[in-house]
Amino acid sequence: MSQKLQKNLGLAAALSTVVGMVIGGGVFFKPQAVYTLTGGAPGLGILAWFLAGILTITAGLTAAEVSAAIPRTGGMMVYIEEIYGKKSGMLTGWMQSALFFPATIAALAVMFGNQTCILLGLNENIAIPISIATVLLISILNTFGSKTSGTIQTVATIAKLIPLAIIIVFGFIKGGGGNPIITPLVAEGVSPASVIGQVLIAILFAYDGWINVGAIAGEMKDPGKDLPKAIVGGLSVTMAVYIVINIAYLWVLPADQISQFANPASAVAQVLFGEVGGKVVTAGILISVFGCMNGYLLTGPRVLYTLGTQKSLPGYKVVGALNKNNVPAKATLIMGVLSSLYALSGQFNLLSDLSMFAVWSFYVLTFIGVIILRKKQPDLHRPYKVPMYPFIPMVAIAGGLFVVLNQLLFAGMTNTIISLGGVLVTLVGLPLYNIAQKQVAKENNNYDLNKVA
């Protein structure tokens, strides 16, 4: 008898799943980049956490229609392939494998290494070795099977909620509350229009994870009714938590001081509870970041493995293989090594911005794909349809295009060069795909010759 997904997820379970997927390490570290960009002023930062939340909600509502209508394993790569063709799907998987996942893992690893050195009073010169060692350790752990990965995720989920709750509650109770929160928007000499795109791409790193929300549609009792509620409700809760904790930060420290700390949450905790309290909160944050890295090293290699099974990359026999634990161990180790190479840069914000630019370019294609599918396949079974069509998809497309084009064209020469580098790395996937197809054709020819002989 064939196995099917059990439709037993109600609204409450779906809501908690959405929140759990999205809340990660970014909320602890990104305020520094945000308030640095605003020149140490709070207003635009708080506004941008709200705007990024609205953009994420429209994105989640839009992409969920595609993922519910195409319930195949593989995520965005499968959706893009269905809508635009095999090469486009391959490029999506390649972008995720070569840029998004390793850059995200490396960004988290860099912060993990830096904060470990601060917590333990170690020389900052060993931060990068700690970052790399941590990535490689998690990579090895993920070759042992999903049970190990699941245990790490459970512990990390608890760990990330504790610092959030502590800072929100005690920040308002013990904080002075005398610092500006809404005004000024930006510091004197800083143009809101010139920095809003960079502020948004920084904050979107903290909201990432929403693309996976549609995957739960197949296990929901009534996805058409409950999935939009879960997306709007779950992402609204996430947005509220992010805004409230940022106000709590400002309740304790002014924005110009927050911009001086790589880990504002730890700095705020130190003010509230003293040095020991700050270290306890930092330890909780580090466990959370460890769990985030584990989550990306659990899911990312599956995309690389899928490219291998599809014979879309040279060396597909290597990356498309499973070990005795039924885990894509070689794909996992390859991604771990690539992430370690990225971590050598030591640049948290650069790596996280690169990952967001790369993935949001393909998110926009996914949003556009909803409109294309509506026209090309009007009779496709859609257990869930994006509400207020086509308004919400158009908002998601416009917001995504603004973020991507701003990073590519208007965010300064450094960001333009990094973004163009991301485009080039993505396009490298095309010749790699062609090489793989020649290898497949050669193998098929040899097989036919042997068969004839």
Q: Tell me: pLDDT of 446 over 80.
A: no
pLDDT, one tens digit per residue, over 61-108 is 999 898 888 877 677 888 899 999 999 999 999 999 999 999 999 999
What CATH number does residue 36 fall under?
1.20.1740.10
Band (pLDDT 50/70/90 cuts) for residue 222 is confident
Burial of 445 (0-12, 13-18, 19+ CB in 10 A): exposed
Residues in the chain, overall count: 453
In a domain, 450, yes or no: no
263-272, 385-394, 444-453, range with the lowest pLDDT: 444-453
Which residues span the domain enclosing 150? 11-444
pLDDT for residue 212 is more than 80? no
Number of domains in the chain: 1
Residue 232 belongs to some domain of the structure: yes
Residue 50 within any structural domain of the chain: yes
Residues 6+ apart with CB under 8 A from 336: 105, 135, 136, 138, 139, 140, 297
Distance CA 247, CA 260 (A): 17
Contacts of residue 1, defined as CB under 8 A and 6 or more positions apart, other chains included, come to none
Q: What is the mean pLDDT of the segment spanning 227-232?
A: 83
Averaged pLDDT score across all residues of the chain: 89
Is residue 3 one of the residues assigned to a domain? Answer: no
Furthest-apart CA atoms within the chain: distance in Å: 86
379-424 pLDDT, tens per residue?
Answer: 998 888 999 999 999 999 999 999 999 999 888 888 899 999 999 9
User: Which residues fall within 8 angstroms of residue 106, CB to CB, at 6 or more apart?
Assistant: 131, 135, 339, 340, 341, 342, 343, 345, 351
Query: Rounded to two decimals, what is the model's pTM?
Result: 0.91
In a domain, 359, yes or no: yes
The pLDDT value recorded for residue 449 is 60
- How far, in Å, CA of 61 to CA of 392, rounded? 8
370 or 23, which is more confident?
Answer: 370
| 449 within a domain of the structure (yes/no) | no
Q: Other C-beta atoms within 10 Å of 7: how many?
A: 12
3-state helix, strand, coil in the chain (%, to 5): 80, 0, 20
pLDDT per residue as tens digits for the range 148-192: 777 777 787 777 888 889 999 999 999 888 899 998 999 999 999
pLDDT band at 216 (very low <50, low <70, confident <90, very high): low
What contacts 26, CB < 8 A, 6 or more positions away?
Answer: 203, 205, 206, 207, 208, 352
* Residue in the block written with tokens 């054709």: 441
Q: What is the mean pLDDT of residues 226-249?
A: 90
Identify the band that residue 217 occupies on the pLDDT scale cut at 50, 70 and 90: low
- Beta bridge partners, 9, equal 220
Q: Which pLDDT belongs to residue 450?
A: 62
Average pLDDT score over residue span 127-142: 95
Indicate whether 3 pLDDT > 60.
no
Mean pLDDT computed over 254-262:
94
Crossing angle for the helix pair 429-452 and 413-427, to the nearest 10 degrees: 10
Span 246-263, average pLDDT? 94
pLDDT tens readout for residues 24-63: 788 899 999 999 999 999 999 999 999 999 999 999 999 9
